[in-house]
Amino acid sequence: MTKTNRLNAICPYFAMFPLEFPMKMIDDFGGSCILDPFCGRGTTNVAARLNGAFTVGVDSSSVAYSISESKMVSADPDRIVSECANILENKNPEDIPEGEFWTMMYDRKTLKEICAVRESLLDDCSSPERIALRGIVMGALHGPLKIDGSSSYLSNQFPRTFASKPDYSVRFWKSKRLLVPPKISLIDIVKQRAERYYSERLSNPGGFILKEDSTDKATFSKIEALMEGRKFDLVVTSPPYIGMNTYIPDQWIRNWFVGGPPYVDYGCKGQIRARESKFIEDVRKVWANCEEVCENGAIIAVRFGNIGSYDSDPIEVIKKTFDNTSWIDIEVTDAGAPKKGRRQSDTFSANTKGYNEIDVVSVLSS
């Protein structure tokens, strides 16, 4: 099987979890049933599909859940485009955001089309075509203009992997005289991206994504019921790096598209708590919950680090999260420094003590 990451790029946002990490863990330890309790944008789940493994992902973020779901479906590109065209022909959106930011961010017709798709998918996003369409549009919501002023995204000039705040964006557009957003046809963008991401058929050995809180035991009771006696033999994951709890504010436009407010929500509800002692407590709950759905001898592999404002040694922090659990024989290896030039990478690598990322491997013993 060709090991491709094309589908993995459907909607990138800053995250310190390259596809190479779960691929290597699967190569090293095998795994026919793979869990990621912090699935983020579904990279572990893509790696599992590429290796023919059943996989489950869990995340409390609507953005992460929606992106991950789009990587779990198989959908025909023509059917995705047809579904989008049908929505645009029949749906008249009821709620179109107003204000200077939205006027400068999107052409009025483009924004109306985005809102039509948004409202239709919020009403029903159950079919593979609609799940794929949601991921495609989320990935196209914002990004850079080309040199000639055209765009393969739906927005005015904008970052691709995170959403700038409205006031900053307006000041930027005015300073660069980018006062008129490009006229973009949503259906044309969907055609391009549907072909790019869904024309290659991946194996579909089964699995699912849950929008749930992995610190909650009830989440794993739900997983256990859905698994019908099957157990995981490999967990590959990356919890939020200590001190990082701005995922939703930094993805606020995509969060709006999947049902959030049309403004930056700085709340941290559902996210792992940032203070070190609370962070350790929360992550320990997740490891303990994973025990309930894993077979004896299962392997857990974790990529971890911290952000520049925290001087805590990530090795000591992550080891403490395994205290009083049944995960034993903890091995820690240096994963190197985050790559420069990426917003989140630069944040993580700006630590005063220069901590690198680490990989942690442990085994479950009953």
**SS3 category, 1:** coil
Handedness of CA 31, 34, 38, 44 (dihedral sign): positive
**Which residues form the domain of 112?**
77-198
Q: How far, in Å, CA of 134 to CA of 72, rounded?
A: 13
Same domain, 107 and 18: no
218, 66 Cβ separation under 8 angstroms: no
Same domain, 290 and 270: yes
Same domain, 217 and 360: yes
How large a percentage of the chain has pLDDT more than 90?
A: 77
Number of separate domains in the chain: 2
Q: Which residues pair with 327 in a beta bridge?
A: 364
Q: Band the pLDDT of 328: cuts 50, 70, 90.
A: very high
Q: Is residue 90 part of a domain?
A: yes
Same domain, 157 and 237: no
Q: Is residue 243 part of a domain?
A: yes
Q: Band the pLDDT of 344: cuts 50, 70, 90.
A: very low
Q: Is residue 311 part of a domain?
A: yes
What is the arrangement of strands in the sheet containing 327-336, beginning at the earlier edge strand?
Answer: 207-211, 54-59, 33-36, 232-237, 294-304, 357-364, 327-336
Q: Is residue 295 part of a domain?
A: yes
Same domain, 209 and 339: yes
The β-bridge relationship of strands 232-237 and 33-36 is parallel
pLDDT per residue as tens digits for the range 117-139 = 999 999 999 999 999 999 999 99
Question: How high is the pLDDT of residue 310?
Answer: 62
Whether residue 14 has pLDDT greater than 90: no
Q: Is residue 2 part of a domain?
A: no
**Strands annotated E in 97-160:** none
Whether residue 308 has pLDDT greater than 50: yes
Least confident interval from 91-100, 111-120, 214-223, 298-307? 298-307
User: Which of 145, 169, 198 is at the close of a domain?
Assistant: 198
**SS3 category, 174:** helix
Q: Is residue 69 part of a domain?
A: no
Same domain, 105 and 166: yes
Q: Is residue 72 part of a domain?
A: no
- The 8-class DSSP code of residue 273 comes to P
What CATH number does residue 230 fall under? 3.40.50.150
Query: Per the confidence metrics, is the pTM higher than 0.85?
Result: yes
Question: How high is the pLDDT of residue 147?
Answer: 77
98 Cβ contact partners less than 8 Å away, ≥ 6 residues apart:
none
| One-letter amino acid of 99 | G
Q: Is residue 67 part of a domain?
A: no
Please name the helix (run of DSSP H) or strand (run of DSSP E) that holds residue 62, with its range, or none: helix 62-70
Same domain, 239 and 358: yes
